[in-house]
Amino acid sequence: MASSSTGPRSSSSFTLSEHWLLMAATILICGLLGYIVYDAIMSTASDLLQRLLVISPLILVIAVHWLSSGTTFSFPIPGSEPGAFHRAGGSPWGVAVVLLLLVFLISYQPSFHGLAF
């Protein structure tokens, strides 16, 4: 007497339409959660890419200076040489300072705009 036909059934008693409804609800919930995760990832990536685009001119100036200076990786400090102040185009520090000033002004534009108007 290994099996009995009068005992409760161990399989589910869902009909075909209930299976489809359960599958549709599962797909809808997974899609909603996937969209929420996707939105969070894309907003983080957008913020990082925006910061990279703001810093990219400064990185470009440093890369051009490094490639044009030769094999050594050295950044001369302005004013360290006696004739460095009067030499034109010897160092990108002026451009770098202007770019940093622009980044600062763009980053804090709403607060400056609030003070001016």
Specify the length of the chain in residues: 117
**Cα–Cα distance for residue pair 46/41, rounded to 1 Å:** 9
Nearest residue to 78 via CA among 64, 97, 59, 60:
97
The tens digit of pLDDT for each residue in 23-33 reads 999 999 999 99
Question: Crossing angle of helices 16-69/93-107, nearest 10°?
Answer: 150
Question: What is the pTM assigned to this prediction?
Answer: 0.36
The pLDDT score that the predictor gives to residue 113 is: 65
